[in-house]
């Protein structure tokens, strides 16, 4: 079973006026022993976030550490995922994070496992850049 820990979403305004949506978390896998390379057993990992506005963003760029540290019968891997979207205003809020994954299985062996959890969304960057250019011009 896979769990997420210390999970938050950060929003950054990019130069092209889109917003970068970035996830930073830790994948925790219950496993006795020294652990294993996650890439050898994780054959699906789809990640998306539904913002409080109702807007959904796929986090298509996913990276995680293949090596891990093991403690208390858990392997701990660092996880990063990101996507982009258009938003007029970025601000602190909350979102529903949805992760579909397969661990220790092969495609065609049933439905993937799902994690859904509410996570904090944190607006980052200079306050003046938290608004789209059109909104900044009107002010």
Instruction: Provide the CATH number for the domain around residue 20.
Output: 2.60.40
> Residue 39 has which token pair?
């890439």
pTM, two decimals, is 0.83
Question: With b meaning 16 or more CB within 10 Å and e meaning fewer, what string describes 50-84?
Answer: ebeeeeebebeeeebbeebeeeeebbbbebebbbb
Range of the domain at 50: 2-138
68-110 pLDDT, tens digit per residue, is 888 888 889 999 999 999 999 899 999 999 999 887 666 666 6
Would you place residue 40 in the very low, low, confident or very high pLDDT band (cuts 50, 70, 90)?
Answer: confident
Domain count within the chain: 1
């Amino acid at each position: 079973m896979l769990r997420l820990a210390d999970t938050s979403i950060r929003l950054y305004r990019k130069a092209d006026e889109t917003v970068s949506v970035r996830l930073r978390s830790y994948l925790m896998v219950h496993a006795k022993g020294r652990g294993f390379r996650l890439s050898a057993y994780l054959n699906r990992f789809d990640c998306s976030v539904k913002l409080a506005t109702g807007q959904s963003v796929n986090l298509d760029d996913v990276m995680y550490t293949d090596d891990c540290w093991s403690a208390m019968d858990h392997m701990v891997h660092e996880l990063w995922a990101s996507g982009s979207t258009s938003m007029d205003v970025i601000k602190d809020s909350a979102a529903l994070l949805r992760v579909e994954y397969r661990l220790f299985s092969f495609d065609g062996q049933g439905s993937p496992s799902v994690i859904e959890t509410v996570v904090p969304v944190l607006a980052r960057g200079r306050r003046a850049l938290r608004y789209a250019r059109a909104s900044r011009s009107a002010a």
